[in-house]
Amino acid sequence: MVTEMHKLLGAVTVVSTILIGLSVKDGGAEGETPAQFLERYERETLPMKNMVAEAAWQQKTNITDENTAAFVKANLELAKFSQKMENQALVFLKDKSLQLTFDQRRQLNKIADIDTNAQTDKTKLERLQTVITEMEQIYSEAEVCMNPSGDCLKLEPGLTELMRSSRDCQKLSDAWRGWRDQSGKKMKDLYQEYVQLSNEAVQILGHKDLGDYWKSRYDTSTFEEDVAVLFDQLLPLYQHLHSYVRRKLKAQYGPEIFPSTGHIPAHLLGNMWSQQWNNIADLVNPFKNKQLMDVTEEMKRQGYTIKKMFETAEDFFYSLGFDNMTQIFWEKSMLERPEGREVVCHASAWDMDKQDDFRIKMCTTINHEDLMTVHHEMGHIQYYMLYENQPLVYRHGANPGFHEAVGDTIALSVQTPGHLKTIGLLKAGNEQDKEADINFLMLMALDKIAFLPFGYLIDQWRWSVFRGDTPPEQYNNEWWKLRCRLQGISPAVKRGADDFDPAAKYHIVADVPYIRYFVSFVLQFQFYKAACVAAGYTGPLYKCDFYNNKAAGEKFKSMLQLGSSLPWPEAMERMTGQRHMDAGPLVEYFEPLLDFLRKENGEDYGWEEKCPENPPPCQSGTGRLATPIWGVALLAVIGVTFGRLRLPVLV
């Protein structure tokens, strides 16, 4: 999920008073030493960032023209302040006579790293913020009318529920196409502006383009090559999963709607973006006589509330020796969809840069998937709390993937059958055997392995766009080249140059880098194995539950409390003993499943690199509708009213 306060920094008008009365020279108080400047930066920036956070929170939890305008104005105020601080930091960094310590130089470099706020042309900076906000608003307000009678569904919860539950090929295809027509297709001109303005802004900082700037956050010149090596290591596991799922889907829908190229039509995988496939687990479950490890119905039977879901996550972290959530967290978080106003439902964790003020924004649903998402988001909050005493510039993850990996590492332990039995969500009599283990690993693979090429390719596309290798007239064509080649997914219907399917994904329009999620899916298994070793666990990795183990908690805390005060390899070494990203633990976790898939698939796996020229249409009568369309529409109405039917995407 997006840690929004790393992205959505704005300020309210009153913060300009902070700047009044400063005697400035080159952006800082005259005669300051580096130590004095860093102390002043901390003192003045912290209250500003709190006001920034409040402005952003209001905009995301109550989308109005007034709040949106205030949000744009806020970002301009922040940019003005950031530029002053950047200028002073650069003065110190360039002064050869100063004997800066490692810590001073690191802090000054981070202060000088101000993202697109480096744009000194006020008109261009304002336009950039306006463009991003307009794209987000189009995305949040888009809806698809499924028939002439006016059954119009927003993404959350209506379209998401339809994609999850329907087995009617044509309904899925219509929803898939409709969402892209009503969201991405309307933003292509805006996105071209965004690319141009963002590139110009970061070039002021000395970067080639925005993609180059994003990659610089990983502190290695070989980052792009490093993630390519990781992807190649993991590709065989994905290829075998893909081919097994393709065969099962052909049995459900009939082979005639599948292209001869070996691709899976994008609308059949239970998710609007085909990024995770756990919603079709009932169709691909290897052993039908063994239950799926989904505790949704048991949660409902036990009367779980949304608050109880968050208390369950809190209990896990507390069992490791972490602190409980603060009182302010419970008072000010938005844990379910409110009535009577538009909000951004995409789940996110917020550091409000004020003592004890941490929040989650989420339209939570009572189900298994959201229980895991709650643990993920609370992982962000725990990270915030653990590095709260670091200097302000270090209050970030060691690298962008770290923040995303923490909660997911916990969720790997939470999802084990052993843990679900411990907390009473799985009946004790359901003992695991080899077939049940394969079912469990399949469910996990539909979440973790299915995501890998998607998490990898989004920024492959954006890096190419930012570099200028992919011009606007080729935006959609290159997008589908990547999806067909790397993911083995083909469009539900024929796509053209006028379509703009990348912008049907939130992170594209919201200016959020995505490779962090691919990185986090590798890191979380490294962290998980390290926690299991610390806990003294010696069995198969996929069965490890380190709940209630303080030694595992101490391993975590030794890394998380550092924030970004040290280069990320040093932070990772504190927990894992390794200084590099390693796909080995992920492969180890899924090794029994890979052996099973190899036997099942034989030589029948893989797909052609090129997209099919004409995607086969749905055939009359293919599939079945688990929930009839009138039922989906009803669910949407209920969901909007009560906020209890959303099935949020993990990332």
Long-range contacts of 30-34 (CB under 8 A, 24+ apart): 32/88, 34/92, 34/98, 34/100, 34/104, 34/108
- Tell me the average pLDDT across 194-202: 92
**360 DSSP β-pair partners:** 349
Q: Which of 6, 375, 419, 507 is catalytic?
A: 507
**CB 333, CB 342: distance < 8 Å:** no
What distance in Å separates the CA atoms of residue 58 and residue 79, rounded to the nearest whole number? 19
Q: Is residue 6 annotated as part of the catalytic site, yes or no?
A: no
pLDDT band at 514 (very low <50, low <70, confident <90, very high): very high
**617 and 490 in a common domain:** yes
pLDDT band at 607 (very low <50, low <70, confident <90, very high): very high
pLDDT band at 35 (very low <50, low <70, confident <90, very high): very high
Asked if residue 376 belongs to a known ligand binding site, the reply is: yes
Q: pLDDT by residue (tens digit) across 386-416?
A: 999 999 999 999 988 898 888 889 889 998 9
Residue 25 has pLDDT above 50, yes or no: no
Asked if residue 591 belongs to a known ligand binding site, the reply is: no
Residue 603 has pLDDT above 70, yes or no: yes
Which two tokens mark 490?
A: 């083909």
Q: pLDDT by residue (tens digit) across 270-303?
A: 999 999 998 999 899 998 887 777 888 899 999 9
Q: pLDDT by residue (tens digit) across 550-566?
A: 999 999 999 999 999 99
What distance in Å separates the CA atoms of residue 309 and residue 311, rounded to the nearest whole number? 5
Q: Give the contacts of 377 (CB within 8 A, at least 6 positions apart).
A: 1, 347, 348, 349, 360, 362, 407
What distance in Å separates the CA atoms of residue 144 and residue 396, rounded to the nearest whole number? 38
**217 and 108 in a common domain:** no
Using DSSP's 3-state secondary structure scheme, residue 623 falls into strand
268 within a domain of the structure (yes/no): yes
pLDDT computed for residue 195 by the predictor: 95
Select from 63, 93, 113 the last residue of a domain: 113
- The torsion defined by the Cα of 407, 561, 586 and 312, in degrees rounded to 10, comes to -30
Which two tokens mark 600?
A: 């099942």
Residue 13 has pLDDT above 60, yes or no: no
pLDDT band at 117 (very low <50, low <70, confident <90, very high): low
pLDDT computed for residue 390 by the predictor: 93
- Chain-centroid distance of CA 310 in Å reads 19
Residue 626 has pLDDT above 70, yes or no: no
Q: Going by DSSP bridges, is the β-strand pair 152-154/143-145 parallel, antiparallel, or unpaired?
A: antiparallel
Which two tokens mark 381?
A: 């909050």
- The torsion defined by the Cα of 97, 98, 100 and 105, in degrees rounded to 10, comes to -90
**CB 12, CB 54: distance < 8 Å:** yes
Q: pLDDT by residue (tens digit) across 141-176?
A: 889 998 877 788 888 778 988 998 999 999 999 999
**226 and 87 in a common domain:** no
Asked if residue 384 belongs to a known ligand binding site, the reply is: no
Q: Is 496 left (phi over 0), alpha (psi -120 to 50) or beta?
A: beta
**244 and 107 in a common domain:** no
Q: pLDDT by residue (tens digit) across 524-541?
A: 999 999 999 999 999 999
pLDDT computed for residue 623 by the predictor: 52
The percent of residues in the chain predicted with pLDDT above 70, rounded, is 89
Residue 26 has pLDDT above 50, yes or no: no
- Tally of domains within the chain: 2
pLDDT computed for residue 51 by the predictor: 80
pLDDT computed for residue 630 by the predictor: 39
pLDDT band at 340 (very low <50, low <70, confident <90, very high): confident
Of 2, 7, 49, 14, which is closest to residue 353 (Cα–Cα)? 49
152 within a domain of the structure (yes/no): no
Residue 600 has pLDDT above 60, yes or no: yes
145 within a domain of the structure (yes/no): no
pLDDT computed for residue 509 by the predictor: 92
Select from 113, 139, 167 the last residue of a domain: 113
Residue 503 has pLDDT above 50, yes or no: yes
Q: Residue 267: give its domain's CATH number.
A: 1.10.1370
Residue 28 has pLDDT above 60, yes or no: no
162 within a domain of the structure (yes/no): no
| Strand ranges in 270-362 using DSSP code E only, listed in sequence order | 348-351, 358-361
**79 and 217 in a common domain:** no
| Strand ranges in 30-75 using DSSP code E only, listed in sequence order | none
Name the residue with higher pLDDT: 434 or 80: 434
Quote the domain boundaries for residue 15: 4-113
What distance in Å separates the CA atoms of residue 490 and residue 259, rounded to the nearest whole number? 8
Q: pLDDT by residue (tens digit) across 460-478?
A: 999 999 999 999 999 999 9
Select from 89, 113, 137 the last residue of a domain: 113
pLDDT band at 14 (very low <50, low <70, confident <90, very high): very low
For 143, phi then psi, to 5°, come to -145, 155
Q: Is residue 435 annotated as part of the catalytic site, yes or no?
A: no
- Chain-centroid distance of CA 553 in Å reads 24
Which two tokens mark 402?
A: 């770290």
**226 and 84 in a common domain:** no
pLDDT computed for residue 620 by the predictor: 62
pLDDT computed for residue 534 by the predictor: 95
What distance in Å separates the CA atoms of residue 509 and residue 183, rounded to the nearest whole number? 10
Q: Which residues of 189-216 are buried (b: 16+ CB within 10 A; e: fewer)?
A: ebbbbbbebbbbbbbbbebebbbbbbbb
Residue 10 has pLDDT above 60, yes or no: no
| Strand ranges in 230-284 using DSSP code E only, listed in sequence order | 264-265
166 within a domain of the structure (yes/no): no
What distance in Å separates the CA atoms of residue 443 and residue 289, rounded to the nearest whole number? 15
DSSP letters, 289-306, are TS--S--HHHHHHTT--H
Of 265, 156, 308, which is closest to residue 649 (Cα–Cα)? 156
pLDDT computed for residue 133 by the predictor: 86
155 within a domain of the structure (yes/no): no
- Tell me the average pLDDT across 573-600: 94
What distance in Å separates the CA atoms of residue 135 and residue 131, rounded to the nearest whole number? 6
| Strand ranges in 377-533 using DSSP code E only, listed in sequence order | 489-490
372 within a domain of the structure (yes/no): yes
Q: Going by DSSP bridges, is the β-strand pair 489-490/152-154 parallel, antiparallel, or unpaired?
A: unpaired
pLDDT computed for residue 53 by the predictor: 86
Q: Which of 134, 136, 336, 377 is catalytic?
A: 377
**225 and 77 in a common domain:** no
616 within a domain of the structure (yes/no): yes
Q: Is 85 left (phi over 0), alpha (psi -120 to 50) or beta?
A: alpha
pLDDT computed for residue 70 by the predictor: 81
When the pLDDT of each residue in the chain is averaged and rounded to a whole number, the result is 85
